[in-house]
Amino acid sequence: MDRATRSTLITALCLSLAGLAACNGIPGSESGDVPPQRPLNTVSGYVVDDAVGGALLNVYGFDDGVKGELLASTTTAQDGGYSLQVDGVERRLLLLEARGGEYIELATGQRVELEQDQVLKALAVNRPGQSMSVMVTPLTHLTAALVRYYLDSGMAVEAAIDTATAELNELFGIDVAAVRPRSIAEQGTSELTPDYLYGFFLSALSSWTKRVNEQNGLAPHAVYTSIALSQVLYDEVAADGLLDGKAGNALALGTVGLGPNAYRLSLAQHMLAMAAGKANLSGVSVEQLLPLAFRLVNSEHRLFAGVAPDLSGGQVAVSGDENLGSYRSGVFEYAVTLDSPELISSVRFSVDDFDLPVAAVPGEMRVPIDTRQFADGQHTVAMRALDWLGNPVANHAIVFQFDNTLPYVNVSSRLYTNQENYLLSGTVGDNGSGILQFEIDAEAVSINPDNSWSLARALQPGNNPVAMRLEDWAGNSFAEQVTVVLDQTPPQIDSGAGHSQARFIQASELVNGMLADSNTDAPVYIETHQADLDGTAITRAALDGAGIPYFAFAAIDALDTGVATGAAELQVRMRYEKNGITLADWRPLTPLAGEYLVPLAGETLHSSWHQSLPTDEHGVRVEVRDKAGNRVEKLFAFRAAFAVAGIEMEHIREPSAALFESTAFADRAALYDRDITALAYTFTNTSGKAFYIQPDDAGGHVARRDVEQLLREHKVRQVTTPMWRVGVIENASDLCIGSLVNRRFEMVNEMYQFDGNGWVKAMTPPATIGEPINVFSDAPEPPEDSQRVDVDLAAVFDELFASNEISSANQSFSATTTYDYDYLLNVTSQQGLSQPVLISNWQRLVDYVDTSVDDELTTCIVVPYFKQFERYTYQSEPGYPLDSHAFLEEQQHFATAGFTVHDDTSSENIAAVSGWYRIPAGHTVSITKHVHTPALTVDNDVAVAEPDTVADYTPLLYDKAISWSIDRALNITAVHDAGAGNIFAMTPTQTRAGEGAVQYSIRRP
């Protein structure tokens, strides 16, 4: 039995074992039985990213480097564990795929459900009699990606697996498929074992993606997760065999660019950060991991495309309160905030490079500084943060004037405002003698008991200098001028540089054009595989290359009355709306090369944005705010028609080929009038989103029967001969004396007619011969004569008669008989003259000798008997009758009976919804075409094979060959899944698969 047949049996067995946690594909015998002694191999392991519980784990054949038949399936336990069995007889390559389920991001404790198109893969070799343990993780997924690249490059399958496995094992220093990753949240003994090291690598992915979300202005793990990162890495490595931040186009996670240094540095940083964090219960310290982290960050592995290590990346954003006066006296707080504090191992604060003895906790830090420890004058207060690798990742500095002698004034109110009526406020202080007076612009200002003060001022547009003077009782004075800026001019949102190109649906046609600020007249056509960034960098070049439309704008604060907010200081944010309802609230935007790009993608809009109808109105609302609080909004609007790109068939199988091949000709009736699974079309939903399909075809299938016929044939022509039936008067001389019915009837086709001079032959019309006809006897009986009809003598008689006179006498009388006559059968004998058919003017005169007796005159009217009819006979065609052979062909057309759509990934049939089948993202599906074969006749007259022994006018038929031609064509209409109730509102796309026809035939041996 070949593998395809075994797969069919296994699938049937799997479907029948409802309720089992695992269905193990065990190839059996031809009958489908599974011999108990057939050896099985156990495949077990764990699906980890942390532990992925409830995942569907499928094992497929991978012998030809493509996903083959499903061999076994199970569901992972809560700890990610699985165990199943496969055939242990043959050496086979296996592909393991884990889909669905959920895991916990260790960096946040957030539970993540795998999306439909997300998968983790691993590859293994099944050796006879050897059970195996195989892990399925993001790192084995990366191995599978590298295998795919090598296969596409022409490498043999096993060589590709061996090479890719060796490279990944070398990069990470562990056997990524054999070592079970151990969660760092599990209590340990402080020993850095391979399983814990594996766990730290995976936890680093969790920590890094947490930060990526924060860098994109998103909540931790709101969009970017470790499983999502694994999908991006797979596509990248499968594309070019490198971790170079490219897959045709530049890759990024939102605004976070990807590339060799991003991978090396981020994994190392976040691995150490997780070791230092609260989630780490392994007992393994940062110090233990440092050598391995440095090994990774300095790696020059082939996968990093020859890019030299650079430790300067991975900067952590830092912010401080810049809106302060420059003078400080006494103790004040220096406030600094660090993003991603988990990456920071230490923070150093200094004044003029003099380290402050402050133990600062990363995050929002308020460091007290005592100016009295420093000489009066200008001083630089700085902060420097190091990551766990010891690299500086954040720096910040600000210059203050320390004054420990003079009284001082601190301004706490913001110095940029858009309010004309402004309240200037702050605090004052002195060095012990007390405050004598405090003036602002020569106006005395009251000081509150807590040394705070405030003064209302009416501002003019632009710069408003404010002179402050403070004098103490000791005669010391402090003077400073600050500038309060009144800026009432809102910034501008400028889209003049142009948005991206897009495709629009106009009058059912696709039209290319540029996005406008508002695009509600015609929907933007978006194929669902382009509805997400999936790692595409947010740059014009990368987005254009990926075919992802985007809005583009610049934020500008024009100079007005001498003031403006610099582009870098403008606050720009966006939110996403649909039909006027906010689905994704405000989040900051990051500029690139002086402009802001908003791709029409799930990562920037909302994960559910594709769940939309073409009539829905989408809005990207952008807000720009300057330092003074002025703001401007702009709504970029559009409609979107989501469509499914063309479906690419992976292969087309013929499930019933074995049935036809194994059916003996003698059993051909078993193939008649029955349901047949004719064709199976397999494809994978690579669009990234679920969609609905509706299969159809023209159903032009034909069954043909070739038959040999043995038949006795006789072809004849019908001869139609006109005939006369005449009554011949036997004795004309005694016509009236004798019986008038004394006639002799003859059937003739010729007679003699008197023409006034003599007798000429008169004949019936000539015989006619018909077309050849088939008769079913060597001596067929012709039809009976036609009905006899009177000949219309009045119409055909020429009124010319011959005359005859007969005389006789005796002693008593003499008699004379005269008559006219015509139509004789024979003119060669005297008898013929007295036996006419037609007699007229017949009379007899008797003259008596005895004059006393009156003479007698007798006349007689004779009605002739003269009828015509047709006589039928058969005339055989030359060579007939004969025995003949013929070869006949019978054709019957039949239609497709229906379709079944089977989810190969979940091993379940998909139920139709109003004739449509929902295909989950990432799932492999088979569409089977069912036909019902016609009921052909079984003819088995074996005598046909021995033609010398049989000659019969009943046809003898002998089947020679039966063939079936099944059209391979399949039409698939696909629509994006925007909900079952919206199927008919979506934009359909058409795919045609299969060319020609499948030919099955069986012949008589």
Residue 673 belongs to a domain: yes
Determine contact, residues 872/894, Cβ cutoff 8 Å.
Answer: no
Pinpoint the alpha helices (H) of 252-411: 260-276, 286-297
Q: What pLDDT sits at residue 861?
A: 83
**CA–CA distance, 607 with 623 (Å, rounded to integer):** 21
Q: What pLDDT sits at residue 478?
A: 87
Q: What pLDDT sits at residue 947?
A: 67
What mean pLDDT do residues 640-668 have? 94
What mean pLDDT do residues 141-146 have? 98
Q: What is the pLDDT of residues 263-284, one digit of tens each?
A: 999 999 999 999 999 999 999 9
Determine contact, residues 643/525, Cβ cutoff 8 Å.
Answer: yes
Q: What one-character DSSP code corresponds to residue 904? A: T
What mean pLDDT do residues 634-648 have? 96
Whether 95 and 199 map to the same domain: the answer is: yes
| pLDDT classification of 19: cutoffs 50, 70, 90 | very low
409 vs 1003, residue with greater confidence:
1003
H or E stretch including 230? helix 226-240
**CA–CA distance, 361 with 341 (Å, rounded to integer):** 8
**CA–CA distance, 484 with 460 (Å, rounded to integer):** 10
Q: What pLDDT sits at residue 357?
A: 78
User: Which position has the token pair 């379940």?
Assistant: 908
| Listed residues 402, 417, 433: the one ending a domain | 402
Whether 83 and 224 map to the same domain: the answer is: yes
Q: What pLDDT sits at residue 743?
A: 81
**CA–CA distance, 147 with 238 (Å, rounded to integer):** 8
Least confident residue range of 30-39, 103-112, 956-965: 30-39
Helix 260-276 crosses helix 286-297 at what angle (to 10 degrees)? 180
Nearest to 938 by CA among 669, 675, 702, 665: 669
Whether 349 and 437 map to the same domain: the answer is: no
Whether 367 and 439 map to the same domain: the answer is: no
Give bridge partners of residue 252 from the DSSP assignment.
257
Give me the domain span that covers residue 86: 3-304
Whether 462 and 502 map to the same domain: the answer is: no
Q: Evaluate if residue 591 carries a pLDDT over 60.
A: yes
Residue 705 belongs to a domain: no
| pLDDT classification of 234: cutoffs 50, 70, 90 | very high
Whether 695 and 736 map to the same domain: the answer is: no
For residue 396, give Cα distances in angstroms to 319, 338, 591, 659. Answer: 8, 10, 21, 78
| Listed residues 569, 595, 628: the one ending a domain | 628
Determine contact, residues 230/122, Cβ cutoff 8 Å.
Answer: no
Question: Quick one: CA dihedral 211, 215, 219, 222, positive or negative?
Answer: negative
> Mean pLDDT of all residues in the chain?
90
What CATH number should be reported for the domain holding residue 391? 2.60.40.10
Whether 472 and 590 map to the same domain: the answer is: no
Determine contact, residues 716/874, Cβ cutoff 8 Å.
Answer: yes
Whether 177 and 231 map to the same domain: the answer is: yes
| Listed residues 628, 661, 683: the one ending a domain | 628
**CA–CA distance, 975 with 713 (Å, rounded to integer):** 63
Q: What is the pLDDT of residues 113-127, one digit of tens each?
A: 999 899 999 999 999
Residue 890 belongs to a domain: no
Determine contact, residues 176/147, Cβ cutoff 8 Å.
Answer: no
**Total count of domains within the chain:** 6
Nearest to 847 by CA among 881, 801, 891, 813: 813
| pLDDT classification of 396: cutoffs 50, 70, 90 | confident
Least confident residue range of 7-21, 615-629, 675-689, 886-900: 7-21
Least confident residue range of 157-161, 734-738, 782-786, 850-854: 734-738
What six digits make up the tokens of 435? 């405050």
Residue 633 belongs to a domain: no
Least confident residue range of 288-302, 408-422, 527-541, 730-744: 730-744
**CA–CA distance, 834 with 836 (Å, rounded to integer):** 6
Least confident residue range of 49-58, 344-353, 400-409, 572-581: 400-409
Q: Give percent above pLDDT 70 in the chain.
A: 93
Pinpoint the alpha helices (H) of 46-185: 138-152, 157-172
Q: What share of the chain is helix, strand, coil (3-state, %, to 5)?
A: 15, 45, 40
Residue 815 belongs to a domain: yes
**CA–CA distance, 520 with 466 (Å, rounded to integer):** 51
Q: What are phi and psi of 132, to 5 degrees?
A: -145, 160
**CA–CA distance, 243 with 138 (Å, rounded to integer):** 14
Whether 621 and 665 map to the same domain: the answer is: no
Whether 680 and 800 map to the same domain: the answer is: no
Residue 882 belongs to a domain: no
Residue 707 belongs to a domain: no
Determine contact, residues 862/842, Cβ cutoff 8 Å.
Answer: yes
| pLDDT classification of 834: cutoffs 50, 70, 90 | low
Residue 309 belongs to a domain: no
Whether 110 and 227 map to the same domain: the answer is: yes
Whether 156 and 292 map to the same domain: the answer is: yes
